Amino acid sequence: MTFTREDAPWWTTAVVYQIYPRSFQDGDGDGVGDLRGVLQRVDHLAELGVDVVWFSPLYRSPQDDNGYDISDYQDVDPLFGTLEDLDEVVAALHARGIKVVMDLVVNHTSDEHPWFVESRSSTDNPKRDWYWWRPPRRGMTAGEPGAEPTNWGSFFSGPAWELDEATGEYYLHLFSRKQPDLNWENPEVRQAVYAMMRWWLDRGVDGFRMDVINLISKVVGEDGSLKDGPVTHGALGDAGPGTNNGPRLHEFLHEMHQEVFAGRRESLLLVGETPGATVEDAVLFTDPRREELDMVFTFEHVGLDHGPGGKFDPEPLDLRDVKATMARWQAGLQDVGWNSLYWDNHDQPRIVSRFGDDGEYRRESATMLATVLHLHRGTPYVYQGEELGMTNAHFTSLDQYRDIESLRYVEHARALGHASEDQLLAGLAAMGRDNARTPVQWDASPNAGFTTGEPWIGVNPNHRTVNAEAERADPRSVFHHYRRLIELRHTEPAVALGDFRMLLPEHPHVYGFTRTLDDVQLLVLGSFSGEEQTVDVPDGWDETAERVLGNYDVAAALGGGAVTLRPWEALVLRRRTSG
């Protein structure tokens, strides 16, 4: 079903802002961001014009994976404050017309969650089957190399199974060993999760971003067995075939919809993080008639610069690959379903350093990248600091990193002798998740105005020139360009609902497309180059077209069926196709 002006959900014209709480704003001087800090910055969000704030996990947690290991789903971690603090933040955002989305992490819990504490206490505990427990391989002794129930590797390096010495069985953890996977085959698990979700909705939140939600259904044999995956590195196998988009996934999501969202669906936002999902998968997830999700995060476009050695072995980006991927998702969800649009989040390096130029053309490339993304069909997501043009951290030593994925990668690579220290540092500097997790740069003062204490992770030294105070004072800044982009989505229906048509698919440096709704057409051009680029424009576009948005004071001139774009230039034009 294609959305029209009359029936389009509210989130088609919305922009979502992601807050990674520990790095947003510290309100008590302990060096870690918190909810009292968020209260200090709600007017920044209102000025930006966003419609939704999505909070990365605030729940009680041992913080093994920065809060994605949850020990109590119905409490706030003292690191961030209290439930009452959260209520105050929600009320402050609601007062400014901003909805609140919580991160929902239910593929796994912390190993310190009471459910898992019970589950591991004995093999006959009533909650034993709430998690994935298996004995060692037949004929092998627990703890013996290769005795794990399957050969699956975890996302954080090493086997995906951890031996519990007390019971002599292994539990599954697709991520850290302190993040055991919940067994969604057990209906008691699902009902406990649904009850928790209803509790949060009753408390006033407006939806959920569902962490790795397409991993909740595992491929289980009739005898309860889990199968080895194809070997990828050493003796470890790929867990994907046994865990991605499992056979009961859509059943579980529809059941969740019926149990949790019935009767209050229209006001909520439901987005799923779905690593490995295809366009065809996304159509199923987001078709409104199926009652599952509103949109999903695709990962294809943020894997295009991964080299043969994986994400920490990046290779130069080929813009033609990005255009092909984005065009396929736009076309695939044009008539049914919806896209999530993002460059940055807490798991990705800063886009201006990754796909742009974080030196001489930082402002131009940051605003061009934003323009190209936001003018696609879908709901844009802005990650904290993206609206300021924040860059990668440019750390100079491995001991500056804090992220578990990066640290486990370094440990694993050292053990295998696959990379030199310089190569490890280069890989993390380009692609490490900590690039997104350095504190938001509010001003030029020590610690960037983030904290009066010692920050939990180093502040980017460029905060002296790249910060919210400087951005707000400059009408040409990245910040004000984001404001104009968000306002355009709110005021021009073609941005939200217009058909998408890719232009120049084989051009190596220029990204171009049109958006068309009724008699309004937008032409969007973005140069991914530090050199001038001259390209043809479609028939009917000339100097009479209205300039809607650009990142240079004087727009590039159209003439003779062509336009010459300056370094990292973005241009949005509008015309009427009839009347």
Residues marked as catalytic: 211, 273
Q: Is 287 exposed, middle or buried (0-12, 13-18, 19+ CB in 10 A)?
A: middle
| CA separation for the pair 207, 338 (Å, rounded) | 16
Angle, vertex CA 273, rays to CA 37 and CA 70, nearest 5: 55
User: Long-range contacts: 543-546, Cβ < 8 Å, 24+?
Assistant: 544/575, 545/573, 545/574, 545/575, 546/573, 546/574, 546/575
Angle of helix 421-431 relative to helix 404-416, nearest 10 degrees, comes to 150
What residue type is assigned to position 338 of the chain? W
Looking at 378-417, which runs of residues are DSSP E strands? 379-383
Structure-token match 């209290």, residue found: 82
Is residue 523 within 8 Å of residue 529, measured between CB atoms? Answer: no
- Specify the DSSP element, H or E, that contains 500: strand 499-503
DSSP string, 170-213: EEE-SS-TTSPBB-TTSHHHHHHHHHHHHHHHHHT--EEEETTG
What does the buried/exposed string (b/e) look like for 248-280 if buried means 16 or more CB atoms within 10 Å of the residue's CB? ebbebbebbbeebbeeeeeebbbbbbbbbbebe
At which residue do the structure tokens 């934003």 appear?
A: 370
Q: CA–CA distance from 271 to each of 51, 101, 240, 340 (Å)?
A: 15, 9, 21, 8
Q: What is the dihedral of CA 468, 469, 473, 478, to 10 degrees?
A: -10
- DSSP state, residue 18: E
